[in-house]
Amino acid sequence: MMSRHHGTFKKLNIPGPAPWPIIGSLMEINKAGFHSFQLECRKKYGKIYGYFGGLSPQTLVVGDKEMLRKILVKEFNNFSDRIIFKGFNGDLESSVNNLKGNHWKHVRNKITPAFSTGKLRKMVPLVDYASDTLLEALRKKVKDGDGVMEMLEVYGAYAMDVICSTAFGIQVDSQQNPNDEFIVNAKKFMILNFSSSIILILMFLPKLHFLMPFLGWSFIDKHVQKFFRNVTVKLLDERVAGNKDRVDFLQLMKNVQHGEDGDSDEEEDDDIDKENVSGSKLPNSWYRKGITFKEILGNAEIFFLAGYETTMITLTMASYYLAVHPEYQDKLRRELFDKIGSEPLTYDNIRNVAYLDMVINETLRINPPATRTDRVCLKDTEVNGVRIPAGMHISIPIYSIHHDPDNWEDPEKFIPERFEDKDRHDPLTFLPFGYGPRNCIGMRLAQMELKMSLAKIVRTFQICVCSETKIPPDLATFSLLKPKMSKLKLVEIK
């Protein structure tokens, strides 16, 4: 049975899978998983196709780089929102991730300086401390056992330590103190994440949204929310606006809470606009100056949610690829010794190790933790001959763009050398952090965090496969692209 929505794509002359009544393509996606569904559809329908999600607006999938350049950058103002489920995000409702239109622009503008080069440089000691803690824990594990370990656990604890210190200014050692109240609550907080099947159902049946608050359904457990609200109130009360000794995000947000612009010693951001935000300055047309307590709380929480699993997965997969390809691991180790020797790692010297960047990029290309992102069309817009009506959802199939042989030769092969010459590939064919003014705000913090820990581990240990390593790994089907398990063996280099 053809639906009204399917008819829309027919009229636009856009191919795509025929939908089931009510549930659209939900079953196919559920069966194949988002990343495999993307690959199958690209093979069948090409780079631009449409599918229909039950009662939700139609979804136009755009894997074509020229169209994406328009949607994500040139025509950004007509596509600045992401799909947002209202009513059951609890305190996350006010986070930058869940805001729309000018409200989003205002909050994003206010918190962007917290991620500037100057601020990140000041955060290095926090990340350095967490990566030293990680190294110590690994040394102990190797000394006390056979060196075989579940990398997801090891890197999960590290990612948790980094977020606790950079977001909340709290030092925890999740390896040693897994029962700390903060960690226990943070872990519960992360159980229901973007990968939850509730999200998938709501994406396809958004008319059910209105029921959620009545059913008391929220992504986050009420007690966990209360815990974080209380902690944030307490920590904010202790903070003095403008305190330059503290550089965690809570402090940086407190600094702009009442409309002050934060530190005046802020060095101009050298990379943020040039690298990926495309230089388009966001208009600041919101009616108030500062940000509210609710926005601070929501953002502190979203930094947890958005930064934890993504980082853990990337480190786990990078270690896996280095174990499976010891020749690349040796090359990375050699370059680390050539460029840094046994000197301490700093924000600057680590940026000189080009091969580290290449290994991480290639990991994120083959295995982007977020396999897709999206935008909503806000105003009828013609993009490269396709007339996109207001209200249509745009899905950006990051995974299939990264695995498209038109973009990458032998896309399934792990070859860090592809990233040797940065200018050789179009940035719209490599989008692990999204692209344009609404890209990942934590991108450079994540890169620093990934580099610090991977560099320290490769300098200290040989990462090896063992009899329990699953090659290739089993990947979760419709969540973040996460291996179900990842056992590797570490051997200390004497």
Q: Which residues bind ligand HEM (CB under 6 A)?
A: 96-97, 108, 302-303, 306-307, 310-311, 314, 369-370, 373, 432-435, 438-442, 445-446
Smallest gap from residue 441 Cβ to ligand HEM (A): 5
Choose among 217, 191, 216, 228: nearest CA to 305: 191
CB of 308 to ligand HEM, least distance (A): 8
Residue nearest to ligand HEM (CB): 434
What are the Cα distances from residue 194, in Å, to 53, 198, 303, 310, 407? 17, 9, 13, 11, 28
Instruction: Give least dist CB 401 to ligand HEM, A.
Output: 12
Beta carbons of 96 and 441 less than 8 angstroms apart: yes
DSSP-derived secondary structure letter, 24 = B
Q: How far is CA 72 from CA 49, 65, 377, 394, in A?
A: 18, 10, 11, 10
Q: Is 440 annotated as a binding residue?
A: yes
- Minimum Å gap between C-beta 66 and ligand HEM is 17
The answer to whether the peptide bond before residue 15 is cis (omega within 30 degrees of 0) is no
Among 228, 242, 199, 253, CA closest to 84: 199
Q: Which residue has the tokens 């581990």?
A: 457
Name which of 236 and 446 has its Cβ closer to ligand HEM: 446
Least separation in angstroms between residue 295's CB and ligand HEM is: 12
Residue 81 DSSP code:
B
* Helix, strand, coil % in the chain, rounded to nearest 5: 55, 10, 40
Shortest CB 187 distance to ligand HEM, Å: 17
**Which residues sit opposite 106 in a β-bridge?**
none
Nearer to ligand HEM, 329 or 363 (CB): 363
Q: Cβ contacts of residue 434 below 8 Å, gap of 6+?
A: 72, 370, 373, 396, 398, 440
Report the nearest approach of ligand HEM to the CB of residue 373 (Å): 3
Tell me if 134 sits within 8 A of 153, measured CB to CB. no
DSSP-derived secondary structure letter, 329: H
Binding-site residues sit at: 440
